[in-house]
Amino acid sequence: MDLSLVLPTLGNHDRLGRSLPGLCEALVALEALRGRAGSTEIVVVDDSGDGSATAALPEILASLGGEPRGVAIRTVGTERNLGFGPAVMRGARDARGAHLLVLHDDVLVEGPGMAALLEVLEGEPAIFAAAPSLRRSPEPGAAPARVPARVVRLEDDWICVRDARGGEEEALASAPVAGHALVDLEVIPSAAMLVRRGEFLDLGGFDRLFGPASLEDVDLSLCARRRGRRLVAVLDADAVHLDLGDGLGDLLDAPVARAVTARNRLLLRWKHLATRTDAADHLVGLWRTALEAGLTGDRETLEGIALAMDRLGEMAESRATLSGAAPMDL
C-alpha cells in the first residue's frame, strides 16, 4: 500500500462529518492522478476511550453512499484517551502504507496537494517530512489566512517556539524538488505532515514523554534535524485548517494546560541539552526561575517544574535514544 492517512479523533461526529468526505474525495483523486487504484487507506484512531468515533463512522460513510471505491477506511481504538501524539503512534503502528499522512481531524487536503507531497518525499531522500502550505479558516465564510512557519529559539534558557518573522521566512526558501517550490522548516506542523512510515517509527515518532499533547512536533523536528534530515513545506500543496479547536487549551482547564506546557518546555530542554556546561548553566537558570515563581505566586510554572521532575526517568530514557546524533545549536 502506498499511503495511509492517520486521523486521530476524540470521536466528535460533527468534525469527522466535515473532514472525512473531503479526505475520501481527495484520496480517490490521488489514486486517479497516480494511476494506483486501491493504494490508499484512512486509519481513524478513535482516541475517545468510549468508541465514539467507531460508532459514528458507519453513519458518516452512509452519508457518502458507502465506502469510496479503492479507499479502505477503518478504525483503531485506544483503551482510554491518550492524547494526540500517542494516538498518532497507535495509528502509525497499525497502518499498512509505505507513507503516512498525519492530519488533525479538522484539516482538509485535496488530491493534487497529496500528490505533490508524495512527489517531493519520493524525489529527495534527505527529506524526512513534507508539509502542505497550511491556511487557517478562523470562522465560517472567512478567507483562510496562511499559517506562518515556526522557529525554535532559547529565551532566558527556556525553549520558545514562535512564528517566523519576514527575514527568517525568506531565509527558509529552498531549491525545488520534482518541480515543486519548497521552504525548509525548523518545525514540521503536526496538523499536517507526510513521512515515510518506516523512518518515522525508526526515529521514535512522537515521543510519549510529551503526552497528552504539546511540543511533540517540535521534539520530532529537533530529532530529525539532529540526524541531518530536512523538513519542508510544499508551497503548491494547499491545506485548510478549519481550526475547530483541538489544542491543549481546548482539552484541559487553562491552569492545567499552562502547567503541562511548562512541563513539556522543560522536558524538551533537558532532552536536547548539548553539553555539561549547558546543563550547569541551565540548572542555575532553573533555580532562579523556580525562586521567582515562588515569590510571585506563579503556580503554573512551579507545577510545571514539579511535573517535569516526575518524568526525569522517562526523559533520561528518551535522551539516550539521541546517542550519536549531532546536538542542535538552539
What pLDDT was estimated at residue 249? 47
Q: Same domain, yes or no, for 238 and 274?
A: no
Rounded to an integer, the average pLDDT of 71-97 is 92
**Between residues 285 and 199, which one has the greater pLDDT?**
199
pLDDT-derived band at 29 (thresholds 50, 70, 90) equals very high
Q: Is 283 left (phi over 0), alpha (psi -120 to 50) or beta?
A: alpha
**CATH assignment of the domain containing 125:** 3.90.550.10
The whole-angstrom separation of Cα 279 and Cα 109 is 42
Residue 286 carries which side chain, given as an amino acid letter? Answer: L
The whole-angstrom separation of Cα 90 and Cα 253 is 26
Of 246, 271, 301, the residue at which a domain comes to its end is 246
The whole-angstrom separation of Cα 267 and Cα 274 is 14
Q: Same domain, yes or no, for 263 and 299?
A: yes
- Contact predicate 266/161, CB 8 Å: no
pLDDT in tens, 149-168: 899 988 877 788 999 887 77
Rounded to an integer, the average pLDDT of 293-320 is 93
Q: Same domain, yes or no, for 306 and 200?
A: no
**What does the mean pLDDT of the chain come to?**
88
Q: Same domain, yes or no, for 268 and 218?
A: no
Q: Same domain, yes or no, for 234 and 278?
A: no
Q: Which of 304, 193, 293, 182 is nearest to 241 (CA)?
A: 193
Q: Same domain, yes or no, for 282 and 299?
A: yes
Within a domain: 330: no
Q: Same domain, yes or no, for 157 and 214?
A: yes
Q: Could you give the 3-state DSSP secondary structure of residue 54?
A: helix
Of 222, 246, 270, the residue at which a domain comes to its end is 246
Q: Could you give the 3-state DSSP secondary structure of residue 235?
A: strand
Q: Same domain, yes or no, for 174 and 291?
A: no
Q: Same domain, yes or no, for 145 and 291?
A: no
- Contact predicate 18/61, CB 8 Å: no
Residue 268 domain boundaries: 252-320
> Cell triple for residue 277?
556546561
Query: For the chain, first and last CA: distance in Å?
Result: 38
Q: Same domain, yes or no, for 216 and 312?
A: no
Within a domain: 328: no
> What's the domain count of the chain?
2
Q: Same domain, yes or no, for 176 and 291?
A: no
Residue 223 carries which side chain, given as an amino acid letter? Answer: C
- Contact predicate 206/88, CB 8 Å: yes
pLDDT in tens, 94-125: 999 999 999 999 899 999 999 999 999 999 99
Question: Does pTM top 0.85 for this prediction?
Answer: yes
Within a domain: 171: yes
Within a domain: 95: yes
- Contact predicate 16/108, CB 8 Å: no
Q: Same domain, yes or no, for 221 and 262?
A: no
Within a domain: 329: no
Within a domain: 55: yes
The whole-angstrom separation of Cα 4 and Cα 73 is 10
Q: Which residues contact 301 (CB under 8 A, 6 or more apart)?
A: 259, 262, 289, 290, 293
Within a domain: 326: no
Burial class (CB in 10 A: 0-12, 13-18, 19+), 278: middle
- Is the pLDDT confidence value at 260 over 70? yes
Of 226, 246, 266, the residue at which a domain comes to its end is 246
